[in-house]
Chains A and B, each alone.
Chain A
Amino acid sequence: MTPEQALLETEVAIEMITVVIDGFEVTVPKGTLVIRAAEKLGIQIPRFCDHPLLKPAGACRQCLVDIEINGRAFPKPQASCTIPVENNMIVKTQLTSTVAEKAQEGIMEFLLINHPLDCAVCDKGGECPLQNQAMSTGRPESRFEGVKRTFEKPISISSQVLLDRERCVLCARCTRFSEEIAGDPFITLNERGALQQVGIYEKDPFESYYSGNTVQICPVGALTGTSYRFRARPFDLVSIDSACEHCASGCAMRTDIRRGKTLRRLAGDDPSVNEEWNCDKGRWAFKYLTNRERVTTPMIRGADGELHETSWPEAIAFAAAGLKDKRAGVLVGGRTTVEDAYGYSKFARVALGTNDIDFRARPHSDEETSFLSRVALNLKTTYKDIDVADQVVLLGFEPEEESPIVFLRIYKQVSKRALPVLSDAPFASRGSEKLGAVLISDLSKIANLTTKSVVIVGERLAETRGAFSSVYELINKSGAKLAWIPRRSGEPGALAAGAIPTLLPGGRPVTDPAARVDVAAAWSVESLPTSQGRSTSEILLALNVKNLDAVVIGGVDPLDISSTALTQLLNSFVVSLEISHSAITAVADVVLPVAAVIEKSGSYLDWQGSPRVFEKAIADSLSRSDVRILSMLADEMGSPINLPTVSATAREIASLGKWDGTPVAFEKSVSEKITELGEKLNLKSWRLLLDLGTLQGGEANLAGTARKASAHISKARAEKIGVKSGELISISSELGSLELPVEICEMADDLIWVPRNSIGSQVIANLGFVNGQVKVIKA
């Protein structure tokens, strides 16, 4: 935290200090570094190692200035990035002091001695602080006539980061980031003197989930991303501010486009959310768009059972005929923008006349539905609450795997002031270890909750019956802050847009007549369906037994819901709105191509409930957003939803606003009785950040740093089965089995944990469920 932020956050008066820099007076809080005080005046001192979010290091020495305190000058120029301001300090930068200027020029010349002259091929060329500052503060000519030091180049320190050691200026930004911010000290400075270089440990590759940030903050081209290497130069990229579509953390992003193709994504700058960081998935997982074959033309299934390309009017007419006056449901998927989710929500109510709509393409429960409609919608917890929390409780939530930026925020407080963290995870994952999380087996172990505590629940809590009820009680009793952080970016927005069986947009309960009148008036329709609709699993069940005839499906992977989801669809009329060919389009009767994130504008809601708006990155795309296509479909069906554009939709959402009436009551559920396990083990799982997810397709370099799948069991259990660490075990259920190497860790003897969707461990496909009892034997 910089002193400026501290000033905002605490009410304690902060001592202000006035210094003179280059003859100008500036008053800054005590503790401010000279280099920042100069920035405040608009005086730029060249620097490489200094980064406002990292601790001062004074490694590069480029920021030397002449300093005098109380009339006594320092004998030599000082690094302005490590010296805090003092009273009566007079600073002379390169602008007014020849000593400082000469010192900076000398350092620059020194840094350039061994820096190769390969700017023409270097990825950083054109946006390189070294290039720029060599021009602004370097000497025009080099006096060096020797041979430059060379190293083997590039060496890959992980599959996604390459290191050119000869370009390194030893600023230690990367190593400091990894240690201070990410807590993954896999990268260090080795050797001393002229031989000093950045390196990795022999045994541990640089497999951090945040390694991409080191590439972004490297002030030279020493660290480069494998997938961007030599792809483009900064001057022919068009940069667009965007939002990350991967998780509900809500990172601000920058997307760099060249001729209609995303070439790279960088972390955007939003101090209240992601500061300046993002995770590797957000940074590098964008090739899903070019990986699978895009659907570009509408397709309908002919009498021969094959999909045939057709025109838009024909496809829309065919879809409308199959949906009109039929009993139909809507599966939205967790990746829609708020506007698209609103489109699905309105389409279900107005065009299909049903509340059978659900955004949850994952295991879910009625208890969760109730929790979402009563509790989750009205939460006001933010990142700031984590910053000032006295305790963080993680329930059904692995921050590093499921919301990496939330993890960074918690880790920041853990490393700064040893913030206590509790987690209900079955074993201490790498993330939990870094947080020093205390594992708890049930909620009754949570003590000392105050109004400053933050309880974070994840989507996996729906898999434990009664868990949401216990949390609800806990929060009511203690007054602690509650946050619901789902894994997917679209879920908070879809909930607010009413893409759930119990709610209309804005959190209006479908069972409340006043709420229905409210929405019906805004939509200019006479009435809205009155009864609570079906959830995802109920819709699929109803389709299977012919209680529903048709279904409209957005971006859904059936294997995220259940192993039988796809077969349940086979007997009904399926309208699929998709970007590329998928399991759903393979069985769909009508496939309508929609725009991918870079081709449309829209917004996501992050888990705090604040909108992350983004604009079209590719202006001349022919693809249309889901809401536009649904609007066309509704027109054809004769019950228009009047949402022709994304901006019109956003306006309608804004004018509708939030519900201020009484919300529905939370229906509590009772926890399940623990059944007798016998020889079986209780299966626990969650998804790893980097796994087989659809949106990570096509990026082999990213997949290369995914954590290896292994089954975790306790030592006693391992002995009982007779396996040692690293040996294969076979995990089986009635529906199937999988084999994984074993990893022994501290955990309960009756539990086994496996990753949910990694290579060799796709739990829903292999075992048929995510939570249940499995037989474990040595393979």
Chain B
Amino acid sequence: MTELTPRPDDLGLTAAAKANVPIENQNAKSFFAQLQGFWVTFTTMFKKVTTVEYPEVKEPMAEGFHGRHQLNRYDDGLEKCIGCELCAWACPADAILVEGESNTEDARYSPGERYGKVYQINYLRCIFCGLCVEACPTRALTMTNEYELADDSRSKLIFEKEDLLAPLRSGALKPPHPMAEGKTHIDYYRGDITDIKND
């Protein structure tokens, strides 16, 4: 058994005081040190202000910022979403609900057989991780730079398909409407449809 070391009575300042060690006078050195400090403050007055003047000035977000989602359309207005629910599958927060439905000849919303009839994103669950965007096989779902989403009730923050769909470009037609003449969903997927002129 080892001997227990006796605990010293006190440490630190009190110990130093007891030891009666004189504290050095640093006046001569500290005068210049203080001037140096004032100089930093002084020069800062001529520097550019770093404060972001939000909301008056809204700086653009970095490229690839994860903001609100958007459901994209093909050039002629047909929806890219095929209702496959892979985004809902990928979602770690279970924030997406999709219900698919068959396109019919009378009511076609997307090229191919299937479209998303119900599309809801719960922004209070969404963690903006972008896994849904990665999962989307048709690039129907992407994220925008929009971030001003705060609202005062839970239900207002569940976005429906109409809220998420991209606006129609000029010349595009609001679905339902048939596919371009003689084109299949494969052509749409490859982007081989007649480009609608953007003005």
The reply to whether A and B meet directly (CB within 8 Å) is yes
> Per-position contact with B for A113-138: 1 when CB-CB < 8 Å, else 0?
00000001100011000000000000
Q: Is A236 interfacial (CB-CB < 8 Å)?
A: yes
Knowing A120-B137, A121-B112, A121-B113 are in contact, say whether A236-B100 is a contact too (CB < 8 A). no
B164 contacts chain A at the CB level, 8 A cutoff? no
Residues of chain B from 132 to 150 with CB closer than 8 A to chain A in the complex: 137-138
Report yes or no: B137 in contact with A231, Cβ–Cβ below 8 A.
no
| Residues of A with C-beta under 8 A to B97 | 259
B112-167 contacts to A, CB under 8 A, are 112-114, 137-138
Given contacts A229-B102, A230-B114, A231-B100, contact A120 B86 (CB under 8 A): yes
Say yes or no: A230 contacts B89, CB within 8 Å.
no
CB distance from B101 to the nearest CB of A (A): 6
Residues of A within 8 A of B114 (CB): 121, 230
Write the chain A residue with the least CB distance to B100: A230
A730 to B83 CA separation, bound complex (whole angstroms) = 51
Q: Which of B70-98 contact A (CB under 8 A)?
A: 82-86, 88-89, 97
Contact residues of A: prevailing secondary structure? loop
- Chain A: CB-nearest residue to B186: A150
Q: Tell me the nearest residue of chain B to A263, going by C-beta.
A: B99
The residue on B at minimum CB distance from A233 is B85
Complexed CA–CA distance, A599 and B148 (Å) = 42
- Asked if B84 and A233 sit within 8 Å, CB to CB, the answer is yes
Partner of A121, one of B82, B88, B89, B99: B82
Please indicate the chain B residues that have their CB under 8 angstroms from the CB of A126 in the complex: 89
Residue in B closest to A153 when the chains form the complex, CB atoms: B113
Contacts of B85 in A (CB 8 A): 232-233, 235-236
A231 near B99 (CB under 8 angstroms)? yes
Interface string of A603-641 (1 = CB under 8 A from B): 000000000000000000000000000000000000000
Known: A121-B84, A121-B114. A230 touches B102 (CB 8 A): yes
Give the residues in chain B near A230, CB-CB below 8 Å.
Answer: 83, 100-102, 113-114
Name the residue among B83, B85, B102, B137 with the largest chain A CB count within 10 angstroms.
B85
Knowing A120-B84, A121-B82, A121-B84, the reply to whether A232 touches B137 (Cβ < 8 A) is: no
A231 to B117, CA, bound (A): 10
CB-contacts of A222-248 with B (<8 A): 229-233, 235-236
Could you say which of B99, B113, B138 contacts A232, with CB atoms under 8 Å apart?
B99
Residues in B neighbouring A120, C-beta threshold 8 A: 82, 84, 86, 137-138
Whether B137 pairs with A236 at a CB distance below 8 angstroms is no
Most buried by B among A120, A230, A231, A232: A230
A230 to B137: give the CA distance in the assembly, Å: 16
When distances are taken between beta carbons in the complex, the residues of chain B under 8 Å from A259 are 97
Q: Which residues of A contact B102 (CB under 8 A)?
A: 229-230
B69 CB to closest chain A CB, in angstroms? 18
Contacts of B99 in A (CB 8 A): 231-232
Q: How far is the CA of A232 from the CA of B83 in the complex (A)?
A: 9
Shortest distance from the beta carbon of A491 to any chain B beta carbon, whole Å? 38
On whether the beta carbons of B82 and A233 are closer than 8 Å, the reply is: no
Q: Range of interface residues on chain B?
A: 10 to 19
Q: How far is the CA of A236 from the CA of B138 in the complex (A)?
A: 21
Q: Mark B8-24, 1 if CB is under 8 A from A, else 0.
A: 00000000000000000
A222–chain B nearest beta-carbon distance, Å? 14
With both beta carbons as reference points, the residue of chain B lying nearest to A162 in the complex is identified as B102
| Chain A residues closer than 8 Å to B113, beta-carbon distance | 121, 153-154, 230
**A774, B90: Cα distance in complex, Å:** 65
Q: How far in angstroms is the closest Cβ of chain A from B28?
A: 75
Could you tell me the distance between the alpha carbons of A233 and B90 in the complex, rounded to whole angstroms? 12
Tell me the minimal C-beta distance from B152 to chain A in angstroms.
26
B100 lies within 8 A of A235 (CB):
no
| Cβ of A256 to closest chain B Cβ, rounded Å | 14
Distance of A69 Cα from B164 Cα, bound (Å): 65
- The residue in chain A whose Cβ has the minimal distance to the Cβ of B136 is A120
Asked if residues B89 and A233 are in contact (CB atoms below 8 Å), the reply is yes
B131 to chain A, nearest CB (A): 14
Q: Closest CB-CB distance, A701 to chain B, in whole Å?
A: 13
Determine the chain A residues whose CB is within 8 A of the CB of B137 once the complex forms.
120
- A259 → chain B, closest Cβ, in Å? 8
Closest residue to A259 on the B side, CB-wise? Answer: B97
CA distance A120 to B115 in the complex (A): 11
Determine whether the beta carbon of B88 is less than 8 Å from that of A236. Answer: yes
Within 8 A of B (CB), among A132-174: 153-154
A:71-123 near B, CB below 8 Å: 120-121
Interface residues of A in 254-281 (CB under 8 A from B): 259
The residues of A that contact B86 with a CB separation of less than 8 Å are 120
- In the complex, what's the smallest C-beta–C-beta distance from A257 to chain B, in angstroms? 14
Bound-state CA distance A517–B31 (Å) is: 108
Query: Considering the chains assembled together, what is the distance between the CA atoms of A232 and B85 in angstroms?
Result: 8
Decide if B83 touches A235 in the complex (CB within 8 Å).
Answer: no
Residues of B with C-beta under 8 A to A229: 102
Chain B nearest CB, measured from A146 CB (Å): 14
Closest B residue to A125 by CB, please name it: B84
The answer for the CA separation of A235 and B137 in the assembled complex, in Å, is: 17
- Select from chain B the residue with minimum beta-carbon distance to A154: B113
Residues of chain B contacted by A125 (CB below 8 angstroms): 84
Q: How far apart sit A229 and B97, CA to CA, in the bound complex (Å)?
A: 17
In whole angstroms, what is the CA distance A259 to B88 when docked? 14
Chain B residue numbers with a CB within 8 Å of A153 are 113
Q: Tell me the complex Cα distance, A233–B83, Å.
A: 10
Q: Output the least CB separation between B93 and chain A (Å).
A: 14
**Closest beta carbon of chain A to B82's beta carbon, Å:** 5
Q: How far is the CB of A577 from chain B (nearest CB, A)?
A: 33
In whole angstroms, what is the CA distance A259 to B85 when docked?
15
Task: Determine how close the nearest CB of chain A comes to the CB of B40; give it in whole angstroms.
Answer: 59
| Contact pattern, B 39-62, Cβ under 8 Å of A = 1, otherwise 0 | 000000000000000000000000
Interface centre among A126, A153, A229, A233 (most CB of B within 10 A): A233
Whole-angstrom CA separation of A154 from B112 in the bound complex: 12
Query: Are the C-beta atoms of B101 and A235 separated by less than 8 Å?
Result: no
A154 to B82, CA, bound (A): 16
CA distance A153 to B103 in the complex (A): 12
Interface mask (A196-231 → B, CB under 8 Å = 1, otherwise 0): 000000000000000000000000000000000111
- Cα–Cα distance between A235 and B113 once the two chains are bound (Å): 21
Residues of A within 8 A of B84 (CB): 120-121, 125, 233
Closest Cβ of chain A to B148, distance in Å, is 30
Closest chain-A Cβ to B176's Cβ sits at a distance in Å of: 16
Smallest CB–CB gap between A237 and chain B, Å? 11
Closest to B94 in A: A236
- Which chain B residues border A236 with CB–CB below 8 Å? 85, 88-89
In the assembled complex, the CB of A351 is this many whole angstroms from the nearest CB of chain B, namely: 45
Give Cα distance in the complex from A313 to B85, angstroms.
44
Q: Which residue of B lies closest to A148 (CB)?
A: B186
Minimum CB–CB distance for B6 against chain A, Å: 67
Nearest CB of A to B81, in Å = 11
Minimum distance in angstroms from B135 CB to a CB of chain A: 10
CA distance A121 to B86 in the complex (A): 10
Alpha-carbon gap, A236 to B101, bound state (A): 16
A125 to B112, CA, bound (A): 16
Closest residue of B by beta carbon distance from A117: B137
- Compute how far the CA of A576 lies from the CA of B82 in the bound complex, rounded to whole angstroms: 46
- CB-CB < 8 A to B83: which residues of A? 121, 230
Chain A 542-585 interface mask (CB, 8 Å, partner B; 1/0): 00000000000000000000000000000000000000000000
14 additional A-B residue pairs with CB within 8 Å, beyond A231-B100, A236-B88: A120-B84, A120-B138, A121-B82, A121-B100, A121-B112, A121-B113, A121-B114, A125-B84, A153-B113, A154-B113, A230-B83, A230-B114, A235-B85, A235-B89
* 13 residue pairs bridging A and B, Cβ less than 8 Å apart: A120-B82, A121-B82, A121-B84, A126-B89, A229-B102, A230-B83, A230-B100, A230-B113, A233-B85, A235-B85, A235-B89, A236-B85, A236-B89
Residues of A within 8 A of B (CB): 120-121, 125-126, 153-154, 229-233, 235-236, 259
Q: Which 8 A-B pairs have the closest CB atoms?
A: A120-B84, A230-B100, A121-B114, A233-B85, A120-B137, A230-B114, A235-B89, A230-B102
